[in-house]
Chains A and B, each alone.
Chain A
Amino acid sequence: GIQVEQSPPDLILQEGANSTLRCNFSDSVNNLQWFHQNPWGQLINLFYIPSGTKQNGRLSATTVATERYSLLYISSSQTTDSGVYFCAVMSGAQKLVFGQGTRLTINP
């Protein structure tokens, strides 16, 4: 099945810093989503982005489907951005396959 790799596994930043999270996948995809899992365990949809670029406030994402990767950018980080960020892809089959996540810690 499709493999999903996220990097880095951990990221510690000061408030106000910018960050880039990467997601590599091993096959063509028909769905790619980014999620933020907050400290209470909730999975919050950030982007549905099988290809192209999208922006939502301080967050933006780009997926280059032909090169099999996606990037999530967070600018001017806030402590509330802390948590685990997951990339998940769907390739033909009905299920989302999740990466192992990037744990982001924003210190005040």
Chain B
Amino acid sequence: DSGVTQTPKHLITATGQRVTLRCSPRSGDLSVYWYQQSLDQGLQFLIQYYNGEERAKGNILERFSAQQFPDLHSELNLSSLELGDSALYFCASSVDGVAYEQYFGPGTRLTVT
């Protein structure tokens, strides 16, 4: 158990819908990262927050957004869902956002039908 929690574990929804994925970092970690794992793109970084502020952005679509709340939990919002958004979405956390070890949650498996 990494100490990072993610909900829900599985999500099945239809094209055009909107979903919210939730992540709670390890106790004491200030930085939260979101990654997407798909069959064709592999594991890719989406976005990072540090202590409530966006720190870095990767290959995140405009239809996707995220935020980190004062209690440090984070949410990833995916809207206007397409079949190609079906993937495993991971949240990770670390003490800081520079070179510290990142710990990954169990992931949310999103299926868009």
Contact = CB atoms under 8 A, between A and B. Distances in A.
Interface of A: 30-31, 33, 35, 41-45, 48, 50, 86, 88, 90, 93-98, 100-101
Nearest to A42: B106
Contact of B99 (A35, A45, A50): A50
Contact of A41 (B2, B100, B107): B107
Q: Is the interface of A mostly helix, strand, loop or mixed?
A: strand
Contact of A86 (B33, B43, B98, B99): B43
Q: Is the interface of B mostly helix, strand, loop or mixed?
A: strand
Given A42-B104, A96-B45, A96-B102, 6 more contacts: A33-B102, A45-B104, A48-B101, A86-B43, A97-B45, A98-B44
9 contacts: A31-B99, A35-B104, A43-B104, A43-B107, A45-B2, A45-B103, A94-B48, A95-B45, A96-B45
Interface of B: 2, 31, 33, 35, 42-45, 48, 55-56, 58, 88, 90, 92, 97-104, 106-107, 109
A16 B99 CA distance: 35
